[in-house]
Amino acid sequence: MKFNRLFSYYEDLLRDDNRFGKDVRIYHQSELILKSFNDFNKLNTRFQSNIGRLQGRFSGINAAVTSIISGFVYLFVGIKALNGSISIGSVVQYVGAINQFTTSFSKMITSISDSWHNIKYVQLYFDFLDTPSLKSEGQIPISIDRNSKYEIEFRNVSFKYLESDAYALRNISLKINSGERIAVVGMNGSGKTTFIKLLCRLYDPQEGQILLNGVNIQQYKFQDYMNFLSVVFRISSFSLFH
């Protein structure tokens, strides 16, 4: 799954998405991207080789066991036929049964091999599902009423992204009341999108609080708070006609 995502990313970047072409050419990023792609290919080749070797072992065991069983049974049936213990018709019947058995046995080994191979991918999926949420779920319900008055307050809110030393927002304080229409204006990178994402609880601030009617939004039930909001994010490919 990890390698599939990486391959899709590089494929999209190098072939399908021309939005970044000017940046690649202007800043001479082609060598960096190709090096990253080649490094990924080496990792992927090693991973697929390990899987191939293991599947080869299963196939080898399958072929060896099938041949040994078939050989012994053919030998047994042949001896019985030469001794006159069984008829020619019985020989044909036994040979057909042997072929059916070896085919079924081969399919069983192949299914075991495929299942073992797929379990590794499924295990990653279940590991992801079992990852504990770091978000505070909250316990306070929100009653949504169009006639009610709501106040959202940012109180000394500061936030910086993971592994970044620079704050995207620093000591932001403001209040927004029901019925107000406001515009958040700023230069690129000034934190406008981060402000909205914090309001939507896509992130939680490292410092300060975001309050709804005087209560920290982290104390509200998460799903209730999601239902309380209605957001349209800026998407460059968005169109009312598609």
Using the predicted structure, report yes or no on whether residue 242 has a pLDDT greater than 70. Answer: no
Question: pLDDT of 31-66, one tens digit each?
Answer: 877 787 788 778 878 877 877 777 777 777 777 877
**3-class secondary structure, 199:** helix
CA dist 8 and 122 (Å) reads 19
* Percent over 90 (pLDDT), the chain: 18
Q: Where exactly are the structural domains of the chain?
A: 2-129, 151-228
151-228: which CATH topology?
Answer: Rossmann fold (3.40.50)
Whole-structure pTM value: 0.51
Question: pLDDT of 163-209, one tens digit each?
Answer: 888 999 999 999 999 888 988 888 888 889 899 999 999 899 999 99
**H-type alpha helices, the chain:** 2-11, 21-26, 30-83, 88-129, 192-199, 222-228
CA–CA distances in Å: residue 235 to residues 183, 206, 238, 240: 18, 27, 5, 12
**H-type alpha helices, 130-230:** 192-199, 222-228
When mean pLDDT is compared over 40-44, 53-57, 140-144, 151-155, the highest value belongs to: 151-155
Q: Print burial letters for 4-31: b (CB count within 10 Å at least 16), e (below 16).
A: eebeeebeebeeeeeeeeeeeeeeeeee
